[in-house]
Amino acid sequence: MTGDQRFDAEFREQFRNLLRWRRDVRRFKPEPLPSGLLEEILELSRFAPSVGLSEPWRYVRISNPEIRAEIRKNFERANAQALSGYSGERAVRYARLKLAGLDSAPVHLAVFADHETTKGSGLGCRTMPEMREYSIVAAITTLWLAARAYGVGMGWLSILDPEEVRVVLSVPSGWHLVAYLCLGFPEQDSLVPELEEAGWEKRRAEILLLER
């Protein structure tokens, strides 16, 4: 179907606000998401682009407390290793950071790239199979914004051993973990990234754009 859908200045201002107020959230209120809300947000993420229209995203929702405990241990090991890579003042700072919302988030979602999918017939992946993983990132970014539009916060956890996560979740070996996501209502909203608040890093003031 064709058409000429347009977006007006008011929408653009709202969209800008959505982008500015999206945060990586690690502190959640304990209340669960209302029934059906996660599905509604996931439904929106389907509109994300994907290489060859392969839609290689695979989601696993983790509710089982024993599996959650395994993921928590996985994070603790990976985080301790990451900490050992810093020294001095950086190490002190790293140790103080809150880098996961695992304990309070009502929803845990692991997102995998299915490298064995036949959907899309391999278009765009022959020389660059990593495009499937990039497609997952596109979906997650869409999910992040969709969630925020509904007042739901999301945090991306990557300090994990991905193969251990795959095994504990009993998913096929052709699935590769791209993200472990925590979702729920944020304790508070902020215009400033938590890493910036913590003095770890700052958002750049401008885009780096070269001209040739």
Q: Are 177 and 58 in contact (CB under 8 A)?
A: no
Strands (DSSP E) found in 74-174: 107-114, 153-157
156 binds ligand FMN (CB under 6 A): yes
* 2-10, 19-27, 35-43, 117-125 -> range binding ligand FMN (CB under 6 A): 19-27
**Tokens 């994907």, residue?**
50
> Going residue by residue from 75 to 114, which x/- string records binding to ligand FMN, judged by CB under 6 A?
------------------------x---------------
Q: Nearer Cβ to ligand FMN, position 23 or 108? A: 23
Three-state DSSP class for residue 99: coil
28 binds ligand FMN (CB under 6 A): no
Q: Are 136 and 57 in contact (CB under 8 A)?
A: yes
Which single residue brings its beta carbon nearest to ligand FMN?
193
Q: Nearer Cβ to ligand FMN, position 138 or 159? A: 159
Q: Which residue in the set 52, 106, 122, 193 belongs to the binding site for ligand FMN (CB under 6 A)?
A: 193
State the residues that interact with ligand FMN by CB under 6 A: 23-24, 26, 99, 156-159, 193, 195
